[in-house]
Chains A and B, each alone.
Chain A
Amino acid sequence: MQYLLLFISTVLVNNFVLSYFLGICPFIGVSDRISSAIGLGLATTFVMTMTAAVSWFINHKILIAFNVPFLQYVSFILVIASLVQLVEMFVRKTSPPLYRALGIFLPLITTNCAILGLALLSALRDYGFLQSVVFGIGAGVGFTMALVIMAGIREQLELADVPVNLRGAGITLITASLLALSFMGFQGLIKG
């Protein structure tokens, strides 16, 4: 029950993109087609889940055990970079079609602040191992959902007559504002 609550709150109430502002760069950059949004979302969810698990081990079994917490940022970012590299190699060997679908998005994930944010937040909140993993999956699902909804809106937006100066980033951000506003409606869901 506790895990279900954590999952729902991460996906809907505290959505990574719309209420924590993590992963905005891909949210603005890759959200113009639904198909690429799904691809990026899936790849990110996968890396997030792995990162949550691995960074928990690094944090608790190495950094805290040897009392070197100041290495946290350096080691987390190295974990993420190598994880992305590993995932890329693994997918290329095992499933070429999936690789072709996700290929271009994989390297982009390293610089997605949502991943590092996830590792830092779960360290900050002192989550247990299972909690971290659920948090990772929830964050990934929430990210994918926000990205896909945004891509759907933007495909429609192409037909609209947008003022010249707002085209591109401007109108995307204003759309995101409305989306965030509607996601605020979920706030009563958890705390009651």
Chain B
Amino acid sequence: MAKTPTPLGKEFTKGLWAQNPILKQVLGMCPTLAVTNSAVNAFAMGLATSFVLLMSSTLVGLVRKMVPSQVRIAVYVVIIAGFVTIADYFLRAQFPDISRALGPFVPLIVVNCVILGRQEAFTSRNPVGRSIVDAAGMGVGFTLALIVMGSVRELLGNGSVFGVTLLPQVFERWTIMLLPPGAFLALGVLIGTSNLIAARRQRRAPAAQ
């Protein structure tokens, strides 16, 4: 079955950096931009998305052989929408403040291309165990990128990270970082920086690969 058996550890870590859904694949932009005005919101969004990704990958992995390929996308979408409903109702009941802050972006996880993309590109042609590891890696990578975005924007825009004030009052708050233009700018610079780091690494170790 497995033609090129990649070690399971690598299946996990590729989601963190080499194929990071936000920085490298540029998928799932909408929540990345919209909910990262504070680190807490970013973290909650990352967790919710990871949960949906993990559960959908598991279920899709289990039923993939039973689903005719013509209707697979519709089946995937319904599965994802089901888990999103669970996540949304859970957030609403347990963390009403966060749920209110995230607004319509929790239900919008349904159309987050990271999730459908993983089902189509990975889960539909790999065994369940491997898919779960892949989904976990992608989920963690997505969450980490979101937290970095949220922390940078919160630090510059509000002088704090996770609600803890770090910068002294002398520092003029860049309110613009909390508004839409700041989101686009932060993500653009973040992607540019990650490209720069990747290019540096490749130059330093050209013989290794």
Q: Which of A79-135 contact B (CB under 8 A)?
A: 81, 111-113, 116-117, 120-121, 124
Q: For chain B, which range describes its interface: under 10, 10 to 19, 20 to 34, or 35 or more residues?
A: 35 or more
A181 in the interface, Cβ–Cβ < 8 Å?
Answer: yes
Query: Across the interface, do B184 and A116 meet the contact criterion of CB distance under 8 Å?
Result: no
Binds B, one of A40-48, A51-59, A163-171: A163-171
Given known A77-B77, A111-B116, A164-B199, contact A23–B188 (CB-CB < 8 A) = no
Query: Across the interface, do A24 and B192 meet the contact criterion of CB distance under 8 Å?
Result: no
How distant is B192 from chain A, measured CB to nearest CB, in Å?
A: 4
Query: Across the interface, do B188 and A171 meet the contact criterion of CB distance under 8 Å?
Result: yes
| Cα(A8)–Cα(B175), bound, Å | 26
Query: Across the interface, do A173 and B111 meet the contact criterion of CB distance under 8 Å?
Result: no
Given known A23-B30, A176-B184, contact A165–B196 (CB-CB < 8 A) = yes
A19 in the interface, Cβ–Cβ < 8 Å?
Answer: yes
| Cα(A113)–Cα(B77), bound, Å | 13
Which residues does chain A contribute within 8 Å of B74, judged by CB atoms?
Answer: 78, 81
How distant is B4 from chain A, measured CB to nearest CB, in Å?
A: 28
A177 in the interface, Cβ–Cβ < 8 Å?
Answer: yes
| Cα(A112)–Cα(B183), bound, Å | 20
Query: Across the interface, do A28 and B26 meet the contact criterion of CB distance under 8 Å?
Result: yes
Query: Across the interface, do A172 and B111 meet the contact criterion of CB distance under 8 Å?
Result: no
Query: Across the interface, do B78 and A21 meet the contact criterion of CB distance under 8 Å?
Result: no
Query: Across the interface, do A73 and B30 meet the contact criterion of CB distance under 8 Å?
Result: no
Query: Across the interface, do A73 and B189 meet the contact criterion of CB distance under 8 Å?
Result: no
How distant is A57 from chain B, measured CB to nearest CB, in Å?
A: 19
- Which residue of the partner chain, among B29, B84, B89, B184, contacts A177 with CB atoms under 8 Å? B184
A184 in the interface, Cβ–Cβ < 8 Å?
Answer: yes
Binds A, one of B39-47, B59-67, B102-110, B124-132: B102-110
Query: Across the interface, do A184 and B181 meet the contact criterion of CB distance under 8 Å?
Result: yes
Query: Across the interface, do B192 and A170 meet the contact criterion of CB distance under 8 Å?
Result: yes
Which residues does chain B contribute within 8 Å of A173, judged by CB atoms?
Answer: 184-185, 187-188, 191
Q: Which residue of A lies closest to B78 (CB)?
A: A74
How distant is B36 from chain A, measured CB to nearest CB, in Å?
A: 10
How distant is A122 from chain B, measured CB to nearest CB, in Å?
A: 10
21 A-B pairs with CB atoms under 8 Å apart are A18-B180, A21-B183, A24-B30, A28-B26, A72-B85, A73-B84, A73-B110, A74-B78, A77-B110, A78-B77, A113-B108, A121-B104, A124-B103, A163-B192, A164-B195, A165-B193, A173-B184, A173-B188, A174-B185, A177-B188, A181-B181
19 further contact pairs, Cβ within 8 A, besides A25-B113, A120-B107, A174-B189: A20-B34, A28-B29, A72-B85, A74-B78, A74-B81, A77-B81, A120-B108, A121-B104, A124-B103, A163-B192, A165-B193, A166-B188, A170-B195, A171-B188, A173-B187, A174-B188, A177-B182, A180-B181, A184-B181
Binding site for A on B (CB under 8 A): 26-27, 29-30, 33-34, 74, 77-78, 81-82, 84-85, 88-89, 103-104, 107-108, 110-113, 116, 176, 179-185, 187-189, 191-193, 195-196, 199
